[in-house]
Amino acid sequence: MITATAGYKDTAFTLVRSVQTTRGGNLWYQIASYDADINGAWIPGNLISSSDVVAGTNSSATGSSTTSTSSSTTSSSAVSSATLQVATAAGRTDYFNGNVLNASYSNNSDLQAAYTQGYNAAKVDAQKARADAIADVKDGMALNKSYSGDIGVQRAYASMFSNLTIARNQGIQDCTNGKLSNANYSLDADLQAAYQAGYDSVAATNNVYQLGISFTVDGTDQSGAFWDALNQTQKDALVAAAQNDKFPQTRTEITSADVQKVLEDANIITITFNGRTIKFANADPVTVTPSSTVTQVPVVAHYVTQ
């Protein structure tokens, strides 16, 4: 912000755009200059008189005129690179501040193009920053405080990293507290995924699904007779295997292979039934009801006569 022009004697600059304060009604101009100290700065309108402008082009909503603080020499010329830089920076600033693209930023096509380019470039940079934040959180990395020298990009990265970390930690906390996974934690797919990843990191070690097995022989339910056909050692082994071979909370289905593992651990894949040898063939897959506590899942093991 420039409040006095004495320190910039003979410094030429271009008026880029203007704003009027809502409270005092004061007019301010944003300027562009090859002098880096004032390029992009704002100057009160009362420091620039109409006599300072002797010629100009309608390059923005306020006009774009090259002006000097020491005289009234003004020239109409092509948009300077400094002016374009200000427009590009304005586009980036608008995006990172959460503003929609200003299609009426300037009446000058070059300035509008520079503004739009800056806005869209910031959008691409922010998308990459968010993607990198997602990868870093997923990989268990710490916040990269030096991710980018661009303040807007760094904030986009840090904000996403923070939100993802909060979501992941909430998932961990919910599972630790015995709550079911919250499928509606967030409407944002990335945050929902981070929450679920946190939840599953605990659930994967939380074995809650225990099998309650019924038996068929050659297509007929023989659960009672099957149990009676087992000797005491086999009965004890089956009970122990069913209790020990629990499945993690992350499972959504019990498969035939899961049932086979319990039967193998009980050493009853093949048994003698009514004087004949029968062998486990398969089991029907079962979709499990989500649970955070030990739950018995009923399954049916099918045996066939050999």
Sign of the C-alpha dihedral computed for residues 52, 53, 59 and 61 taken in this order:
positive
| Percentage of residues of the chain with pLDDT beyond 90 | 70
Output the six-digit token pair for 14.
């271009």
Q: Map tokens 């620039």 to a residue.
A: 48
Alpha carbons 229 and 250: distance in angstroms, whole number: 35
pLDDT at 251 over 70: yes
Q: What is the pLDDT of residues 13-52, one digit of tens each?
A: 666 665 656 566 676 767 766 566 777 777 776 676 554 5
Q: Give the DSSP letter of residue 4.
A: -
Query: Among candidates 167, 174, 177, 179, which has minimal Cα distance to 290?
Result: 179
Q: CA 298, CA 14: separation in Å to the nearest integer?
A: 79
CA–CA dist 84, 16 (Å, integer): 9
pTM, two decimal places: 0.63
Q: Output the CA torsion sign for 130, 136, 140, 142.
A: negative
pLDDT at 9 > cutoff 80: no
Which pLDDT score is estimated for 2? 62
Pairing of strands 295-305, 207-217: parallel
Q: What is the pLDDT of residues 47-105, one digit of tens each?
A: 765 545 434 444 333 444 444 443 333 333 467 888 899 999 999 999 999 999 999 99
Q: Six-digit token pair at 272?
A: 């003698």
Structure-token match 């087992």, residue found:
230
Residues 174-223: pLDDT tens digits? 999 999 999 999 999 999 999 999 999 999 999 999 999 999 999 999 99
